[in-house]
A and B are shown apart, each in its own frame.
Chain A
């Protein structure tokens, strides 16, 4: 793999599901891990927010000599400032988690960046196999351990799935020694976000699963087999218009749009 590509991993402040404490976000950690295995210490790790946040040291403890922080208040939106950075600095691959662990957690950030930059977005990546001649071979994570191989041209944005290799252990010493390159962020407050009220989510009732299997083999099959959907069809040969029409029809049918 050529080390002369510029890889940027975007990291956010995570939230431990049990304690609610700030931590290295699970998927962002994997994005850093993937970046480190690709280009080693040449990796740029980028965070938009408070440079004093101690969680950033947990990312740095993965063996990063430095971390770039776009200094801005946590109430500010990250998209515009990240856009500005990515436009200014030559970048080939942007790695990020699928969604943040706190805040809106909508998973929209990589899409918004890709839209503004006009780059392709590769969702739920398990592995970047190789990068050659301006193209990358990427494995996407599908349910039940399946993978889909796609080829994408640089530059692109990839969101990293939980199927990607786990983030390496964060070591205290290197973490506390890493240097922070702090750049000025935005002062644009995210007004929409400020107006929102945040309350704890109610656990959704779980659908009862009636296991009809009589034998262990049947149960094994029920647990591992791919659920066979009743409807749906695979469209490969059709024109883009036909495909779009099919999606539109489905959305109408499901009453997503009226």
Chain B
């Protein structure tokens, strides 16, 4: 019979073509910069990363996770068995039956993939992705029929030359998609690149429940030639495993669905950004991209080459500056792609090399350089807010249990209310605390997110030098951005100033005080309260419970917003976004306030001065915005006075 030689030939030819494609693809990734990766450990860890970490993220959408397990599992099993049965001709009924079972499994899964594509949600890419379920179904049906003679259900040579011809065409169609397309840029590319991406991920700490959110520092040190360009200008300036990561994208659009900038109509779509990166390192245009565009920018005009400056024709700088670095896309990405790293890498080039930080960016950076605070206030006025607080200053006391990191909120009258509230609580609990006073500098968060890593590193090193001269056990701050820098980013600069020091956000610290019974609090009798998770406390540091426990300790039953905890929507204040201020159709803070209003709450509790500023910037009438420290202070029972004035919440 004809099929005796035709099927093995087709399979081998496509396997060879797939291997050629794989080598070509690998070479595209290798054009990136060197990055040390433990290859063997990565490859060994890959199955667990896939089955556990990746599945965990996919499983947030039960429909597709089950569909994927059945389809993907069925395909991998079937493909292995196809090679055994049809390529090597292993004559085993058990194997043939197993192959049939795998194909049935895959077929069932593919039916659900098909159903999903009948009326697909807008976040999914269309185009070639629409034909994938058909290819999956064709593959399973074709090989099912082809395997029937092997188990003896059908006689050998059944159907004659007509069936043979039909089956050959179907084999060619489905195998082209499944093998050839895997390495030549078809939808199945995600399986090939994705598996390797998981193995060689740039942040392996993220697997197994870990967290790795600090940005990687730019190397300005010795050994870096003065001619070297800082940041990412061209696609080949990315590390090779970043390029690999871009290629792993399945275009599921979950990032797009959670991106606050996309929802606000600013010209950013994380999915499109990753696809543009692929266009960049593979060369070509975005004509074949079949998903939603950047809001307000038409498709088909972006062109890229591996050695072309990205912002010259591939991506408009406004796209990069729209990001609030809220990390919602990274948190949501089933492939664990690092969008924020890529965006900041490209911002570094724009700021450090081109000097093109938009709007107030240049001025803010200049102020930070000249005065160590973003608004250019006199450094000697940093402690003015605490004139009446009687706070010990580290310069005088040299040591304390708690170092209170005040942050740049010291210069802002609204933030000062949060600072005072927190100080009052610490005093009520008799905490041995001190501040750095005028020795404290900006944490460098804004400079770093705006791409100026030189200024960030200068601030970090000077802050660490100051910190290293004093003794303290804990460092507590009311600013989640400073918290993140101190906890996750200052470690890269070879200082032991923060060794054996606990870095805490004030909600974490206050929660301990309450649990230890050091604060006497009255139940809260105001209206309904909801809580807004700051990105830099939640997604960046995984702290969702302490603020909620604090609110619960006041008897508040938090009316949760639909998007809360790891899915919390950004207030729009991170990543220097209020400074670069890229226009959109809506304001992110307005959308977040709509989320608040939809819970029916009359107050939104926050844990971040930036969130406070953004949410209070929404026009009234709206729920009141209070930092948790402010709410606690309102309920504080002071030891000396029995009658406590209750602060009125409804203003």
Contacts and interface: CB of A to CB of B under 8 A. Distances in A.
Interface string A52-69: 000000000111000000
A62 B370 contact: no
Given A18-B371, A18-B376, A61-B355, A172 B226 contact: no
A177 B377 CA distance: 30
A18 B354 CA distance: 28
A192 B229 CA distance: 46
A169 interface: yes
Nearest to A173: B353
A176 interface: yes
A171 B455 CA distance: 11
B370 A63 contact: no
B230 interface: yes
A171 B370 contact: no
B370 A173 contact: no
Nearest to A174: B353
Given A173-B229, A177-B227, A168 B355 contact: yes
Interface in A141-196: 168-174, 176-177
A194 B87 CA distance: 94
Interface in B343-381: 351-357, 361-362, 365-366, 369-372, 376-379
B370 to A, nearest CB: 4
Contacts of A21: 370-371
A112 to B, nearest CB: 29
B454 interface: yes
A169 B365 contact: yes
B305 interface: no
Nearest to A23: B370
Interface string A119-153: 00000000000000000000000000000000000
Interface string B447-460: 00000101100000
B378 A19 contact: yes
Contact of B379 (A19, A63, A170, A172): A19
Interface string A6-26: 000000000010110101000
Contact of A176 (B226, B370, B378): B226
Given A18-B371, A19-B379, A172 B352 contact: yes
A13 to B, nearest CB: 13
Nearest to B454: A172
A169 B362 CA distance: 6
Contacts of B357: 169
Contacts of B226: 176-177
A17 to B, nearest CB: 9
B212 to A, nearest CB: 26
A63 B378 contact: no
Interface string B585-605: 000000000000000000000
B353 A171 contact: yes
B373 to A, nearest CB: 9
A169 B230 contact: no
B365 to A, nearest CB: 7
Nearest to B349: A173
Nearest to A63: B355
B452 A172 contact: yes
A173 B379 contact: no
A19 B371 contact: yes
A19 B371 CA distance: 6
Contacts of B229: 173
Among B352, B357, B455, max chain A CB count under 10 A is at B352
A104 B116 CA distance: 76
A10 to B, nearest CB: 21
A171 B378 contact: no
A18 B370 CA distance: 9
A170 B376 CA distance: 17
Contacts of B376: 16, 18
Interface in B209-253: 226-227, 229-230
A174 to B, nearest CB: 7
Given A18-B379, A19-B379, A177-B227, A171 B351 contact: yes
B371 A16 contact: yes
A239 to B, nearest CB: 50
B354 A171 contact: yes
Interface string B50-81: 00000000000000000000000000000000
B354, B369, B376, most chain A CB atoms within 10 A: B369
- Shortest 3 CB-CB contacts between residues of A and residues of B: A171-B355, A169-B362, A169-B355
Interface of B: 226-227, 229-230, 351-357, 361-362, 365-366, 369-372, 376-379, 452, 454-455
12 contacts: A18-B378, A19-B371, A23-B366, A61-B355, A169-B357, A169-B362, A170-B355, A171-B354, A172-B230, A172-B353, A172-B454, A174-B355
Given A19-B379, A170-B366, 11 more contacts: A16-B376, A18-B371, A18-B377, A18-B379, A19-B371, A19-B378, A23-B366, A63-B355, A168-B355, A171-B355, A176-B226
